[in-house]
Amino acid sequence: MSNKKSASRKLKQGEELFTKGDIESARKCFLTLIDTPYPPKEAYNNLGVIAFHEGNFRDAERYFSESLAIDPTYEDAATNYAELLEIIRQKQSVTYLPEEKKRIAFLCLPGLESFLGDIVDFLKSRYEVRTIYSRDLQKLSKAVEWADVIWLEWANDLAAHLTHREGILDDKQVICRVHSYEVLDGYLPRVNWAKVSKAIFVAPHVLDIAMKMYPTLIDKAKTAIIPNGIDLDKFPYRERKPGFVLAVVGHVNHKKNPAIWPEILHRLAKIDNRYELKIAGAVQEARYGLYLEHIFRHHGLEKQVRFFGYVNDVARWLEEEKINYLLTTSIFESFGYAIGEAMAMGIQPVIHWFPGAEILWPKKCLFSSVEDAVAIVKDTNNYSSTAYRRFVSERYGLDEQCKAVGELIDDMLEHGLRENALSVDTTRSTATI
């Protein structure tokens, strides 16, 4: 096969991967093509488009220039390059005076604001910020009237009410952050998405599920994926070793799939009766509380299980209880803060393979059967505290989350949400260590 035909096939393969949303694989295809004696102009243009999607305007400009150097009449590259230069020009022309500090109101139902603290603190250094965690419609309405940007935390009843209230959100930039229960419990159709400027999803698999369940409800071009962030300073790292203490962090309810806990501990105890399970979380469903007490006693494991109830300082508890493994058996998570927090401390996670888990967490830490979970714990050679900490630091550091939020809000305030030909697509990748 000639080099030209081979390059054509490789180019087509890369473009198909890009269309499917597999950006990293597409990038590798195009990079391979430009590392040849006669690189195709299309490969440089496509790399420019990817760089543009990622906000890397410097690389985008370089790639479009290379494409046009090969063929100055190449219309796709010329159009993309011209649009890129216009966006750069607009960014450089916008200046804010200190007295024109923009105003952001965070609105959330009381008790559901636990994921907002770090983001609010970060944005206070750049904007005027108010937080209204209330059901009081008068307070909420006053905050909306005051603000330039409205942040609706959760696409729940509050978001539904405000987006359907006549005129209240007119001329406002509105962000709605979606976690997962709103998607799975049917809340999304209750929200008037025409009033939402940008929908932030905390994970790609949650966005994918939302688009499959409600394909015409939300304009995908008006969505963004910003993963949750972990303040690494709050979860001190140290080198840890395999051991016999497993922990569960989370309230005891059907979502956490607690019926698997006795099965896993029972299998481990047959191998070595030093294995024990410590549970930090309130028993929210009496049926599970009764069942767990009964079945642990039935297996003769009551001395190897301890319920601590709700724990306020998780990092301190994990340290004081000398935890070796963080076990999570949830049937679904949009993220799983306890997993990331334990990994940040160097503790190995043992994670039930819920939908999307392979995108979020290391595949070698996932199990889909009790036997697999036991095998992960037994395989002491794979225990690597430094790898767990590095994984969280690189993917879920709080600084990266805050930076992404800041850039999104800056762009909304500077440019609005103007449509452009290079619309952003969702990237997906399997998580690895």
Question: Quick one: 278 and 381 in the same domain?
Answer: yes
**225 is a domain residue:** yes
Question: Quick one: 21 and 56 in the same domain?
Answer: yes
pLDDT score at 22: 87
pLDDT score at 92: 62
Kindly indicate the confidence band of residue 418, based on its pLDDT and cuts at 50, 70 and 90: very low
pLDDT digit string, tens, across residues 363-386: 999 999 999 999 999 999 999 999
Return the structure tokens found at 47: 């790399």
Residue 103, strand partner residues: 128
Domain end residue (candidates: 71, 93, 115): 93
Question: Quick one: 136 and 109 in the same domain?
Answer: yes
Question: Quick one: 210 and 241 in the same domain?
Answer: no
pLDDT score at 420: 34
**53 is a domain residue:** yes
**428 is a domain residue:** no
* Whole-number Å distance between alpha carbons of 284 and 64: 57
**429 is a domain residue:** no
**48 is a domain residue:** yes
Is residue 421 over pLDDT 60? no
Domain of residue 375: give its range: 232-396
pLDDT score at 46: 92
Do the Cβ atoms of 326 and 314 come closer than 8 Å?
Answer: no
Residue 366, strand partner residues: 351
Is residue 53 over pLDDT 90? no
Is residue 321 over pLDDT 80? yes
* Whole-number Å distance between alpha carbons of 350 and 373: 7
Question: Quick one: 154 and 200 in the same domain?
Answer: yes
Question: Quick one: 244 and 390 in the same domain?
Answer: yes
pLDDT digit string, tens, across residues 329-360: 999 999 999 999 999 999 999 999 999 999 99
Arithmetic mean of pLDDT, 214-234: 93
pLDDT score at 428: 40
**420 is a domain residue:** no
Instruction: Tell me whether residue 263 is exposed, middle or buried, using C-beta atoms within 10 angstroms of its C-beta: 0 to 12, 13 to 18, 19 or more.
Output: middle
Distant-in-sequence, close-in-space partners of 376: CB < 8 Å, separation ≥ 6: 348, 350, 364, 365, 367, 382
pLDDT digit string, tens, across residues 10-44: 888 988 888 888 888 989 888 988 878 778 899 89
* Whole-number Å distance between alpha carbons of 26 and 16: 8
**265 is a domain residue:** yes
Arithmetic mean of pLDDT, 154-182: 93
Question: Quick one: 54 and 137 in the same domain?
Answer: no
Looking at residue 219, its amino acid is D
Is residue 207 over pLDDT 70? yes
Question: Quick one: 348 and 268 in the same domain?
Answer: yes
What φ, ψ does residue 135 adopt, rounded to 5°? -100, 0
Is residue 97 over pLDDT 70? no
* Whole-number Å distance between alpha carbons of 414 and 126: 14
Is residue 325 over pLDDT 90? yes
Question: Quick one: 225 and 269 in the same domain?
Answer: no
Kindly indicate the confidence band of residue 283, based on its pLDDT and cuts at 50, 70 and 90: very high
CATH number of the structural domain spanning residue 127: 3.40.50.2000
Is residue 197 over pLDDT 50? yes
Q: Whole-prediction pTM value?
A: 0.72
Please say whether the dihedral angle defined by the alpha carbons of residues 291, 297, 300 and 303, taken in this order, is positive or negative. positive
Looking at the chain, the whole-number percentage of residues with pLDDT higher than 90 is 67
Number of domains in the chain: 3
* Whole-number Å distance between alpha carbons of 308 and 296: 16
